[in-house]
Chain A
Amino acid sequence: MIRQFLAAALGTIMAAGALAGCGGVLDAAAGQAQAITLYNGQHEETSQALASAFTRQTGIAVKIRSSDEAALAQQIEQEGQASRADVIFTENSPALEALQNKHLLETVPAATLAGVPTAYDSPRGAWVGVSARVSVLVYNTRNLSSRQLPTSVMQLAGPAWRGKLALAPGETDFQPVVTSIATAYGRRAALRWLHAIKANAAGHVYPDNETVTADVNSGQAQIGIINHYYWYRLKYEIGAARIHSALALFAAADPGYVLDVSGAAVLRSSRHRSAAQRFLAFLVSKQGQEIIVKSDSFEYPLGAGMDPSPTAHGMTPFNQLHPNPIGIAALGDGSAALDLLQQAQIL
């Protein structure tokens, strides 16, 4: 038994060693054909689909390293000039803005930036917007009818929602809502709002939006603020028959109605900048954007050439969304929101 186990273990180690050795050889071979490394904080399958299509088109291999976007951003910061990353692709803009503030990002060529409307790019041209999500309400359809829903995120602070609201304040998707409220009504109002929703969400404060969505769907909580795609992913996972919840949009331009942009950037330290920039251009190209539409990450493609009206997966068409006009620059790196969240002792 032990001998067999040790033999198996030894075999595995040797195999791993051999693979590592081969890896070196492959690297050398790929070096001639070029390979780039992608630090990926986005939906893994979509990124892989994008990478393989890019490789088929250009012959440039893409090595993908997936992790949490915040961890990737700080890893890149520590790596500095020695970073192995050529491209970083994140789910939200603040991680990219944080890297840009530390001067770690290379300027994106104008042609690539032109691939998406200016409003969705880095204000300083350091990264390009690729896809977007929108913050919405998710509510349990057994407990609530659509007529009972708030039209503004501010109403969630009211006593009617005590014990019914679910919240994931630690998610990077929640900060933009806080920033947006502070921009619209001022820091003090935002702080009051945070205190109130903290009380309303007592017992339903969760680490992530997946849990918020699942708990609203199961009826443990009745309402929550999430990015729309969590609900579509849940529906995809468990099947429509077991969905007992629905999404609702806030009133047009409500501060709770925020468009979150997912973007990509080339690192200043990259040794394969031109190949990396080609990858960025591919992400916003028609071909790349169509992969995103077809994928099950359920995001809106931002490409300028994309038809905004079709309703893939039954999602509200992009041109019928009326989010708050707060821009990328105002959302910043999220530190102002973090400050407020900490002051309200939610985080």
Chain B
Amino acid sequence: MNGRRAARLVAGISLLVAATLLLPVTFLVGQAAQVGRTEVTRLLLRHLTGMLLVNTVELSAVVTVACAAIGVTAAWFAERTNLPGRRIWRAVIVLPLAMPDFVVGYAWTSVAPAIHGLLGAALVMALSLYPLVYLPVAASLRTADPAVEEVARSLGDGRLKVFFRVTLPQIRTALLGGCLVVALALLAEYGAFEIVGFQTFTTQIVTQFRVGFDSAGACALSLVLVMLGVTVLAGEAVLTAGKRTGRPSPHGTRPPQPHRLGAAAVPAVAGFGLLAGLAIGVPVATIGYWMIQGQRSSLPSTSIAAAAGNTVAYSLPAAALAALAALPVALLVVRHRRRGVILVERATYLVQGLPGPVVALSFVFFAVHYAIGVYQSPELLVAAYAILFFPLALIAVRAAMAHAPRELEEVAGSLGRRPAAVLARITLPLIAPGLAAAFSLVFLSAVIELTTTLILIPTGAHTLATAFWAQESNSSYAAAAPYAAMLVVIAVIPGYALGRYLHRAPSERTGSR
């Protein structure tokens, strides 16, 4: 297979991936089309709509900026300094992704009942979503060439100046990608807002769905979210365009010289402690409190081991599938950046900004019409997870790919290596941190997925999230707590394992030579 044929193959696979990712949007448009024009107008032109738009946009802006600040700061300290206890922090700091939003919302409203409205929603969401920025940025810091920074520092630039002039441009793709998925996730968030009493477009849509039994109306309202999503995507495309991200030196990256924090280690550790305390400590303490309450439960307890087994069995392959599927799309958009290619890439993000129930019903629709044999099978649930969280995988792989030097691939190609060999021997080892971040992001998100899981899981089976929900929705908090605790345990493992793996040198990772 020569280079051109390989490129065509990559483009073909990417198109297929994009088409799959657009299925929920297709469903939504189809459903919305069934709703009469007057009804759509009525739903959209209610007084509330203006307020909801303002709420949604305001919140997205505040939380995206907050997540960017927290995510980048945490990533820089965890990756570029000799922060005491780095290895533990790296595993702990991503945990909020695996906290069911109900736990987080409940925890905050119990700790501080005054938490309410925009500020309350912003606080809860920033503390839950910053890992979406942290993980790709940390992976990007791992792949970026530290030598450029070191040169700048040796020329006498201060740390802050080096950060803004050298480091920030290097992690740009990762940071913007993280912000993109944070903004999209906010468009679609529901559970946490319901608890802190903050109305957005999605809370309205879910009401239409849940109280009105009106999925068509919910889909019509979701068109507004699609438009907001397109705006966010266009904005991010403009910001990423034209800039080349920093690349590793053609000699391959080596571990950076960590900044010595010295006395600054104390406030840095305190900062990490505070972040962990707020983002993880508060919900985990709530889980612990429920557990020691020893209340009776009026519900049968699903075996925790069986639920954990299902959770892992569905989430692991989904994470691998999403990371794998992100590879060709990232390769295409980084190596062959053209208008058509950008459109294909952008199309794959939209699903992230759609409300859960709408996406879940779209899976029912397509499975029932075109693949009834796999309906409510584990395979379909795995595929659904991979689709739902594909955008997270893509931003991580894309950011890593932006660092991988094309020259190395070209040299290898000119030496007669086949494209597949170049990919396996050169590209993959270089972007391994990005693939790992993609895997973690998808895995952590999949383990707590509820809406689609309830609809697609094989009848009678449970995951930790569904078992938790069954108890929690009946106020059986004591019985629900062990499932949430198990979620935390499962979520720590990939963070810790991948952290150890990635912090070996790239040459060790490839295992060759």
Contacts and interface: CB of A to CB of B under 8 A. Distances in A.
A342 B313 CA distance: 42
Interface stretch (B170-178, B265-273, B336-344, B455-463): B455-463
Nearest to A347: B207
Contacts of B208: 338
14 contacts: A13-B316, A37-B459, A45-B298, A65-B459, A70-B211, A74-B213, A74-B215, A74-B357, A79-B364, A98-B213, A172-B210, A237-B475, A338-B211, A342-B48
Interface string A227-270: 00010011011110000000000000000000000000000000
Interface in B100-157: 113, 116
Interface string B441-455: 000000000010011
A13 B319 CA distance: 13
Nearest to A205: B197
B497 A16 contact: no
B220 to A, nearest CB: 14
Interface in A20-62: 20, 23, 37, 43-45, 48
Nearest to B305: A12
Given A44-B299, A73-B213, A237 B476 contact: yes
Interface in B255-309: 293, 295-300, 309
Contacts of A237: 295-298, 475-478
B215 A16 contact: no
Given A12-B313, A13-B313, A98-B213, A75 B361 contact: yes
A290 interface: no
Interface residues of B, number: 61
Given A75-B361, A210-B474, A341 B313 contact: no
A77 interface: yes
Given A82-B368, A338-B211, A233 B378 contact: no
B378 A9 contact: no
A70 to B, nearest CB: 4
Given A2-B497, A45-B298, A95-B213, 17 more contacts: A1-B497, A2-B500, A12-B309, A44-B299, A63-B459, A63-B460, A67-B455, A70-B213, A73-B213, A74-B209, A74-B213, A74-B357, A78-B361, A78-B365, A84-B376, A98-B213, A237-B297
Nearest to B117: A203
Nearest to B310: A16
Contact of B194 (A170, A210, A233, A345): A170
Given A1-B500, A37-B459, A207-B195, A71 B357 contact: yes
B440 to A, nearest CB: 13
Contact of A16 (B300, B365, B378, B477): B378
Interface residues of A, number: 66
Contacts of B61: none
B458 A9 contact: no
A296 interface: yes
Contacts of A207: 194-195
A230 B316 CA distance: 38
A98 to B, nearest CB: 4
A67 B465 CA distance: 12
Contacts of A75: 361, 364, 455
Contacts of B460: 63-65
A5 B210 CA distance: 40
B211 A347 contact: yes
B204 interface: yes
The 8 A-B residue pairs with the shortest CB-CB distance in the complex, in nearest-first order: A16-B313, A210-B475, A98-B213, A296-B298, A207-B194, A78-B364, A70-B210, A67-B454
A48 B301 CA distance: 12
Given A44-B300, A70-B213, A78-B215, A9 B497 contact: no
Contact of A345 (B47, B365, B458): B47
Contacts of A64: 459-460
Contacts of B375: 82, 84
